[in-house]
């Protein structure tokens, strides 16, 4: 990839993390790390042992992480070349049918 493209992707990740964290004053680095690695790094994440306050906080972070992913996908889509934007999106039903025809999701005997 070109250096300019990599820098644009990096900027998209940082912008999505910032937008997710702006609501509620949450941690930008935690969201940025999540967007780059998929790791949940906020307090209590993955420990399996939560206090009520941590459960509520995890719910807030999870909701904002989903929003960050949506924002990131929108920002990355804006980087696509114009001819790629002309291709119609694939319907979710088509994806599900393809999975079932490939045997994915089928019950094991």
Using one digit for the tens of pLDDT, what is the confidence trace for 11-67? 999 999 999 998 778 889 888 998 998 887 665 555 666 778 877 887 888 899 999
* Residue 106 within any structural domain of the chain: no
What percent of the residues of the chain are helix, what percent strand, and what percent coil, each to the nearest 5?
65, 0, 35
In a domain, residue 109? The reply is no
DSSP 89: P
Number of domains in the chain: 1
Provide the residue range defining the domain that includes 24.
Answer: 3-101
Q: Which residue has the higher pLDDT, 99 or 30?
A: 30
Whole-model pTM: value is 0.68
Using the predicted structure, report yes or no on whether residue 105 has a pLDDT greater than 80.
no
Kindly state the average pLDDT of the residues 56-82.
Answer: 88
Cα–Cα distance between 35 and 69 in angstroms, integer? 7
Provide the 10 A C-beta neighbour count for residue 13: 19
Residue 108 in domain: no
Q: Which residues of 56-87 are buried (b: 16+ CB within 10 A; e: fewer)?
A: ebbeebeebbeebbebbeebeeeeeeeeeeee
């Amino acid at each position: 990839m070109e250096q300019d493209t990599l820098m644009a992707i990096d900027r998209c990740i940082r912008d999505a993390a910032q937008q997710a964290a702006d609501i509620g004053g949450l941690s930008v680095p935690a969201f940025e790390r999540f967007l780059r690695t998929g790791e949940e790094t906020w307090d209590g994440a993955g420990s399996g042992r939560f206090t009520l306050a941590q459960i509520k906080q995890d719910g807030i972070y999870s909701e904002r992480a989903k929003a960050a992913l949506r924002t990131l996908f929108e920002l990355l889509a804006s980087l696509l070349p114009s001819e790629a934007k002309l291709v119609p999106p694939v319907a979710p039903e088509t994806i599900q049918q393809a999975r079932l025809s490939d045997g994915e999701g089928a019950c094991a005997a």
